[in-house]
Amino acid sequence: MPHFSYQNGVLHAERVALTDIAKQFGSPTYVYSKAALVEHFSAYANACKKNGRNADTALVCYSVKSNSNLAVLHLLSKLGSGFDIVSGGELLRVIAAGGNPRKVIFSGVGKNEEEMRLALSHDILCFNVESVAELHRLNQVAKELGKRAPVSLRVNPNVDAKTHPYISTGLKENKFGIAYEDALLTYRTAAGMSNIKVVGIDCHIGSQLLDDAPLLQALDKVIELVDQLAEEGIVLHHLDIGGGIGITYDQERPVAIGAYLDRLFARVDQWRQRRHNGSPIQVMFEPGRSIAGNAGILLTKVEYLKHGETKNFAVVDAAMNDLMRPAMYEAWHAVQPVLQRTSAVQTYDVVGPVCESGDWLARGRALAIEQGDLLAIMSAGAYGMSMASNYNTRGRAAEVLVDGDRVHLVRKREVPENLFALESIVD
C-alpha cells in the first residue's frame, strides 16, 4: 500500500500523519487515500483506452457494496465510472453523490417491487436479472409504469473461482444467477415479454481472484451463449464479465489489471472478428475490492495490553462491528503500529471490546507496542465500513479522505443518540 508509508518513524496516509488524524477525529476511524482510489480506478480506465475502447465500448461500473461512502462515489463518478448496485438504497447513494443513473446496473437476487419502480423511474442502464421469477415481476412492474425494462441475464457458468466459499458466486450450488443450461430458454422468454428489452448478458463468478484463468474460462462460456442467441435473432448490446480481481492482503500476488484486460479484450476482438464481422459489443466490468480495498485502513487505539499464560492480547477500540471480515471469513489483515518503536517485540492477538469470542481483528502478530499506541489495520477500504454494524450499541466509525496534505471528514462518527433515535417506548 504505497500511499500509506512511514515518514520519520510515523505511518502516514499520503502526506498526513495518522497520529494527527487520530488527534483531530479520534478512533476508530477509516482513512482513505484519494490518490490510491484514483490510481486503482485508472488501472481499469487506462487499460480500456490502451485497447482502443471508449465509453461506448467499455464501461467500468464500480461495485458500490464494497465502499459506498458518498465522497468515494463522487470521486469515481468524476473519473467517469458507472456503478454496480444491489439495492434501491445504493441507487439513491449514487444519485446523491452526483452519479449518472444511466450508467447504473442493478444486480442482486432479491429486488423488490419498490426497488424496481425506483430504478425504472430513474432510467437506469440495465437490470441484471437473476431468476425467471424476477423476470416476470420486472415485466409486470414495467408494464404498470408504461416502460420497457432494459435487461441482461446473470448467467451462472458453473466455473470454480477457487476462492473462499462465502465469496464464490459462479457454481451451481450458489444462489446467484440463472443456470447456464437454462439460460437460452430464459432469454427466449425474456425476448417475448412486452415490457422487457433484452440488451446484454452478465456473469460474475466470485471475489478475491488472484488468477484471471477462471474469468477467461467464464468469458468463453458466455461467448458461446451470445453466439447461440444471435443465431435466434436475439442480438445483445453489451457483455458484463463482472468483477472479482483480488488484492494483496498478505503475500498474495493478484494478476495485474492491465494484463488481465489485455487478454480479455484480445479474446473479445478475435471472437467478434471471427463470428460477427468485427461488429463491436460493449464490455462492462464490476470491480470493487480492487479499487477500494488497498485505498483504506482502519485506525484504532490500543486500550489495554493483556498478558496471559498462553496468549497476549492487544485490546483495541475497534471491533468486529467495525471490521467484520476477520470474524466472518477468518480474513487476514496486516497490522502496522503507527509509531515505529525499538522496544521488545511480543506476539499479540488484536481483539476488540465486543462481548464475543469471535471479536478479533488479527491473530498472532509480532508487535512492538505500548498501551495507548495507535495501530493501522491495513487493506480495509473495501467491505470494512460498508459491512459495519451497531452491535453492542456501538456507533460506527468516522471516515476521512486524505488528499495530499489535506484531510476531509466524509462521515461523522455515530453517537449513541443516533442509534436509538428511530425507536420508541411503549407503556
Active site residues: 355
Sequence-distant (6+) residues with CB within 8 A of 147 are 120, 195
Beta partners for 82? Answer: 61
Which CA distances in Å does 62 have to 40, 116, 311?
11, 20, 41
Q: Are the CB atoms for 265 and 226 separated by under 8 Å?
A: no
> What count of residues does the chain have?
427
Which CA distances in Å does 19 have to 275, 329, 369?
59, 30, 14
Rg value, the chain, Cα: 23
Q: Which amino acid is it at 30?
A: Y
Long-range contacts of 253-259 (CB under 8 A, 24+ apart): 253/210, 254/209, 254/210, 254/290, 255/209, 255/210, 255/211, 255/212, 256/43, 257/43, 257/44, 257/47, 257/290, 258/43, 258/46, 258/47, 258/50, 259/212
Q: Are the CB atoms for 225 and 183 separated by under 8 Å?
A: yes
Three cell numbers at 323? 471490521
Helix (H) or strand (E) holding 61: strand 58-63
Q: Are the CB atoms for 149 and 126 separated by under 8 Å?
A: no
Sheet holding 10-13, edge to edge: 4-7, 10-13, 16-17
Between CA 331 and CA 290 the distance in angstroms is: 16
